[in-house]
Amino acid sequence: MSISCVAGAAITLVLFSCLPCCCALTLDECIVTALRNNPNVRAATERIQAARAAIQEAQSAYYPMIGASVGYARTDNPPQAFMMLLGQRRASLQSDFNNPPDTENIALSLGLKYCLYDFGRRGFETDMARSGAEITRLVLLGLQNDLIHQVTQGYYSVLQADAFVAVREETVQTLQESLRVANELVESGAALKLDALNLEVQIAQAKDELIRSRNGVKLALAALNAAIGANLASASNMPVKVGQPHAKQAESNNLDVVQERPELQAARKMEEMRQAALAKARRDYWPTINALGSADWNSRVSFDFQHSYFVGLAAEVSLFDGFRRSAVITAAAAQERAAEAEARRTADNLRLDLTSAFLQTIEAWERFEVARKSIESADEALRITQQRYEEGAADIPALLTAQTGLTGSQARNVAALYDYLAALSNLARARGELIKRYDKDEEKGKTP
């Protein structure tokens, strides 16, 4: 192949590498897909539907209970036969009650029962069901908030692993170039064979680290796709890198924002639900007043049905239940106190979580600034050392030290950059802000 062809191919490769990748997978695409496909989110969404159905189940107590039945019977038992005849309006005092003939009866019945008053127990049941549905919705929001950070962290982990591969590849290329120069110096008698051998050892170590880095990319991609819930990310559709931040974004830490965290709101809603459960348990000592009614049709095996009805009121109260109600009240009171303590513990943990995330963000920024400033110095040190080595003014240990310093600075810069971006995401998670950016229909999703 001619030199002109090689140069043309190289120029074409450089031009294509400079073009933006129009099909690169974005972080927003990963997050939106995860919110739709992640199995934990899907399971939590179904639990919301079940909780809303529980509200309807609790509200059903406000409606009357209506039932129907149909039956056929045949007997010569004196009492039963007499009652059948009474229902058919065919009973006669002149018949032999002790020896009735075989008597048949078809009975149709339509019954109704309606609770007129239960001293608020139905209302507490409905309130508890509403609180349960709201808790389920808040748990979903907290899960989604954590999932967004998990996907964000996984996305940056892939880019970080890719960047580590680039650093290792550059190190290998630099060492190979140094080996080439060392071999030339050895052939000219200006350097020892030991220099070339040391460089070959360093190249082998660098290639070993390169293999590990490439495997790290595959592991990071697998973890990202597991968080997304779909095989969306691949080595071919990830962007090359992200823009570097130029200013610190976390300036202050307001602990009051934890009040907006769905986890704390869920804990407080649980406290309300336990309070309603305690109030309902105390109302179980009061009676229930029901309205009763039925319509009945009785006949022999024919269509000559005789109609009757029944209406009435009934007040029901349990006088003694083996101390069951007192035990329920004791348990409900303990659960109410436990829910109150759990809400306080959740608030404390969320404030600690926010403080930790804020401090980690500050630390990551400071590390990033230090690493960014050290790269230029390390790069210049390597350039000078290479030049001195070629001139015979520096030995191979100095060259290897300079190369190791540059590689370390580059690796620290890559780690610090993506650690800072992930720390910013973690800080937004601790503030409860991530889900607000994607949950546009939050108000629509609230429990009715």
Q: How far is CA 427 from the centre of its chain?
A: 17
Domain assignment of residue 215, yes or no? yes
* Averaged pLDDT for residues 180-201: 80
pLDDT at residue 211 above 80? yes
pLDDT at residue 441 above 70? no
Domain assignment of residue 9, yes or no? no
Domain assignment of residue 375, yes or no? yes
Name which of 95-99, 331-335, 370-374, 375-379 the model is least confident about. 375-379
Strand 306-316, strand 288-299: pairing? antiparallel
**Structure-token pair, residue 166:** 């680039």
pLDDT at residue 19 above 70? no
The pLDDT, as a whole number, for residue 92 is 81
The pLDDT, as a whole number, for residue 180 is 83
pLDDT at residue 3 above 80? no
Q: How many domains does the chain have?
A: 1
Domain assignment of residue 171, yes or no? yes
* Averaged pLDDT for residues 3-31: 52
The CATH number assigned to the domain holding 52 equals 1.20.1600.10
Q: What percent of the chain has pLDDT over 90?
A: 55
Please say whether the beta carbons of 127 and 54 come within 8 A.
no
The pLDDT, as a whole number, for residue 9 is 33
Identity of residue 206: A
CA distance 353 to 344: 14
pLDDT at residue 325 above 60? yes
pLDDT at residue 185 above 80? no
Q: How confident is the model at residue 244 (pLDDT cuts 50, 70, 90)?
A: low
Mean pLDDT taken over the chain:
85
The pLDDT, as a whole number, for residue 243 is 67
pLDDT at residue 408 above 90? no
CA distance 62 to 264: 32
pLDDT at residue 8 above 60? no
Q: What percent of the chain has pLDDT over 70?
A: 89
The pLDDT, as a whole number, for residue 145 is 94
The pLDDT, as a whole number, for residue 251 is 64
Domain assignment of residue 406, yes or no? yes
Domain of 335 in residue numbering reads as 20-68+117-290+323-438
* Averaged pLDDT for residues 326-339: 96
CA distance 360 to 160: 18
Q: How confident is the model at residue 15 (pLDDT cuts 50, 70, 90)?
A: very low
pLDDT at residue 21 above 60? no
Torsion angle (degrees, nearest 10) of CA 182, 183, 187, 192: 50
Domain assignment of residue 313, yes or no? no
* Averaged pLDDT for residues 291-317: 90
Domain assignment of residue 444, yes or no? no
3-state secondary structure the chain: CCHHHHHHHHHHHHHHHHCCCCCCCCHHHHHHHHHHHCHHHHHHHHHHHHHHHHHHHHHHHHCCEEEEEEEEEEECCHHHHHHHHHHCCCCCCCCCCCCCCCEEEEEEEEEEEEEEECCCHHHHHHHHHHHHHHHHHHHHHHHHHHHHHHHHHHHHHHHHHHHHHHHHHHHHHHHHHHHHHHHHHHHHCCCCHHHHHHHHHHHHHHHHHHHHHHHHHHHHHHHHHHHHCCCCCCCCCCCCCCCCCCCCCCCCCCHHHHHHCHHHHHHHHHHHHHHHHHHHHHHCCCCEEEEEEEEEEEECCCCCCEEEEEEEEEEECCCCCCCHHHHHHHHHHHHHHHHHHHHHHHHHHHHHHHHHHHHHHHHHHHHHHHHHHHHHHHHHHHHHHHHHHHCCCCCHHHHHHHHHHHHHHHHHHHHHHHHHHHHHHHHHHHCCCHHHHHCCCCCCCCCC
Per-residue pLDDT tens over the stretch 123-176: 999 999 999 999 999 999 999 999 999 999 999 999 989 888 888 888 888 888
Domain assignment of residue 74, yes or no? no
